[in-house]
Amino acid sequence: MDIKAAIRTIPDYPKPGIMFRDITTLLGNARAFRTVVDRLVQPYAGVRIDKVAGIEARGFILGGAVAHQLSVGFVPVRKKGKLPWRTMAQDYALEYGTDTMEVHEDAMATGENVLLVDDLIATGGTAVAALQLIGKLGARAVGASFVIDLPELGGADHLRAMGLNVEALCAFEGH
């Protein structure tokens, strides 16, 4: 199964010069979706995973499916103000300014092993913020899995430099 072929590319979205990698076509293809979930789970066969954390929003879809396959709980990592209970927050840098990610303060327990999942790794800002939240709650990130890597932006390499196991199922050149 060619995962890249199942992903639609939309030129100049959300701004000129950006090639947006749209996984909705992959999600709508049952075979491609199943293949992606299986490949995201496979590297962690035999590894103790207690929770899967998925980054808003496409990471919810993928992370939920991965958590189901691993028979573990799912933790949503959301933008500030979206979670209804007490939260732990982490700021992260954007191209122009900052944003904030949050998790519920009881989403993970000390000593739990957590797998981080999202659709795409670019600069790594949101992934680093999510990993910092995992650490703040006393849990341990055992890896980060993505469908797409944009290697020119360096996010996956940044996570690897932090000592994290990083998996990406395909890569696209450019932004």
Q: Looking at the domain assignment, is residue 3 inside a domain?
A: no
The Cβ of residue 130 has, within 10 Å, a number of other Cβ atoms equal to 27
Active site residues: 58, 95
Which residues span the domain enclosing 91? 47-171
Tokens of 131: 């990993």
Average predicted confidence (pLDDT) for the chain: 96
Q: CATH number, domain at 155? A: 3.40.50.2020
Residue listed under structure tokens 């072929």: 5
96: pLDDT strictly greater than 90: no
Residue listed under structure tokens 């992934």: 127
Residues recorded for the chain: 175
| Per-residue model confidence (pLDDT) at position 117 | 98
Q: Looking at the domain assignment, is residue 100 inside a domain?
A: yes
Q: Looking at the domain assignment, is residue 157 inside a domain?
A: yes
pLDDT tens figures, 135-146: 999 999 999 999
